[in-house]
């Protein structure tokens, strides 16, 4: 089902739309159907709210920083709604990466992926950019399957860089 090497927002959106159809049409994944349908629809909402350009390569996007803008873009939404949108859209993007990576169980949504021992068959480097200052972007290369524990460890390392 993979569509080659297109990691654009448009490819992500196409994947999410197909995923919604699969969730409602698939009989062999009945236990995951409702949750699997919820993930793409909420991820599409987030993409719409953030107004990300279709040709943007999501591997170069600081997705966490973009998600952080949700509160500014949609101040009318309750905090628990923002939290839910952020959580589900992270899962949608993670599923997209797994699908692009050829993982046969890309559709399987785990509530706490960092707590499981399973890893995608092949991890790949993802470059994330962060606007540290107006004139300076920091770039960081992390694995596509970065866990919460690894992210916390990286955050502690970065905190140690400041004098």
CA distance 30 to 104: 17
Q: How far out from the chain centre does Cα 29 lie?
A: 22
Q: pLDDT of 2-45, one tens digit each?
A: 445 889 998 988 888 887 765 545 544 444 455 556 777 788 88
Residue 41: what pLDDT? 79
| Backbone φ/ψ region at 4: left (φ over 0), alpha (ψ -120 to 50), beta | left
CA dist 60 and 152 (Å) reads 20
**Whole-Å CA distances, 15 to 66, 94, 126, 156:** 20, 12, 19, 35
């Amino acid at each position: 089902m993979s569509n080659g090497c297109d990691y654009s927002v448009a490819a992500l959106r196409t994947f999410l739309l197909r995923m919604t159809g699969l969730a409602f049409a698939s009989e062999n994944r009945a236990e995951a159907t409702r949750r699997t349908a919820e993930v793409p629809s909420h991820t599409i909402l987030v993409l719409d709210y953030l107004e990300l350009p279709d040709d943007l390569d999501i591997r170069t996007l600081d997705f966490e920083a973009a998600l952080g803008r949700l509160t500014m873009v949609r101040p009318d939404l309750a905090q628990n709604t923002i939290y839910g949108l952020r959580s589900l859209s992270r899962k949608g993007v993670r599923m997209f990466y797994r699908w692009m990576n050829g993982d046969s169980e890309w559709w399987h949504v785990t509530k706490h992926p960092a707590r499981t021992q399973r890893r995608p068959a092949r991890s790949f480097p993802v470059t994330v950019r962060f606007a540290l200052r107006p004139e300076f972007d920091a770039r960081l290369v992390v694995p596509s399957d970065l866990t919460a524990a690894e992210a916390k460890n990286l955050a502690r390392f970065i905190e140690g860089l400041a004098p």
